A = this chain, B = another copy of it.
C-alpha cells in the first residue's frame, strides 16, 4: 500500500501516472497501465477528434468491470480544442491532464462535468497558475523529460521541491522527467512529490502504439543521445538521428525561427514515432531512455516500479535510526 493524495484523487492503487504521449499512448497502453493499478492516459495530441472518441470508447470497454482508471492528456493549443473537450465530457471521462497552454479556460468546465483536472507545468510560476485556476493537482516536469518542455531547463531534482513548497499545501504534486525506475520514483517521493508521471519507460512497452522500430531505438539509446532542441520555437527533447543533428547544426549557425520551422516541416513526429523512420523522423524521448533495456508489458513496468521503489525505501530505513 502506498497511499498519497494522488492515489486518493484518482482512486488508483499506485501513485503512478502513465504519461499521455503522442503517437504512443493509445487505448491499449492506457488500459494496460490502468489494469496494472496506475492511472492510464490516452494522449490526444496526435489524434483527430473521431479517433480520440474511438480510443476513449475502447479504453472504457477494456476496463469495464475492472478497477482500472484512465484519463486523457490534452494539449490546450490544439486547434479543435472545443470539439476535443466536448467529446471528453460527452464520453464521461473522469480525468483530464492539460498541457501546453493556459489552464484558466478549461479547468472549471471540465470539473463541472465531473472531471479531475491536472495541469502539466515546467516551472513554479506556471504551477501556481494551475493551482490558481483550480486544478486538482499539478505535474511538475523537469528538463530531462522527453517531448515538449519548458525553456527554463530546471531539472526534476531542483524543480520538485520548489513546486511543492509553492503549491504543496493546496494541491498534490506529480513529478515527471527522468523517472523510469523504482529508485527514481523513490527519489521523487523524497522530494515531496505524491506521484510520478512516467513516459519513456511506458513508450518502450508491448502495448504502446508507437512503431516497433522506435521502441528498439529507445532500448539502444545511450547517455547523451537526447538533446532539448528548438528552444527558440517549441522546445522539445529529441533523440539523436539525422534530423536531430540537422536541427542542432541549424541552431549552432544561428538559424532563425523561419528556417527552423521549415526544417521541422509537417508530420515529422508521426513519421518518426508512428511510422518508424529512425533517420528523418522526429523521435521524442527522455534522458532516462539510457536506462531502458527491454520492451516488457505495461503491467511489468508498473510492478517493477513498485517493487524497486519499495526496495529502495527499505534500503533507506537503516539511516532513520
User: Which residues of A are interface residues toward B (Cβ below 8 A)?
Assistant: 1-2, 123-125, 142-144, 151-159, 161-162, 165, 177-179, 181, 183-184, 186-192, 223-224, 227-228, 232, 252-254, 287-288, 290-291, 310, 312-314, 316-317, 319-321
Contacts and interface: CB of A to CB of B under 8 A. Distances in A.
Nearest to A237: B153
B310 A161 contact: no
A310 to B, nearest CB: 7
8 tightest A-B contacts by CB?
Answer: A254-B254, A152-B224, A187-B187, A157-B178, A186-B190, A155-B155, A187-B190, A144-B155
How many copies of this chain sit in the oligomeric assembly? Answer: 2
Given A189-B319, A253-B254, A179 B152 contact: no
A320 B190 CA distance: 13
A117 to B, nearest CB: 24
A157 B186 contact: no
Contacts of A165: 291
Nearest to A184: B157
A212 to B, nearest CB: 25
Contacts of A177: 155, 157
A191 B314 CA distance: 13
A306 to B, nearest CB: 10
A156 B157 contact: yes
A158 B190 contact: no
A253 B320 CA distance: 52
A136 to B, nearest CB: 22
Contacts of A125: 223
B2 A319 contact: yes
25 contacts: A2-B319, A123-B223, A123-B224, A143-B143, A143-B144, A143-B155, A144-B154, A144-B158, A152-B224, A153-B227, A155-B155, A155-B156, A156-B157, A157-B178, A162-B291, A187-B190, A189-B316, A190-B190, A190-B313, A190-B316, A313-B316, A313-B317, A313-B320, A314-B320, A317-B317
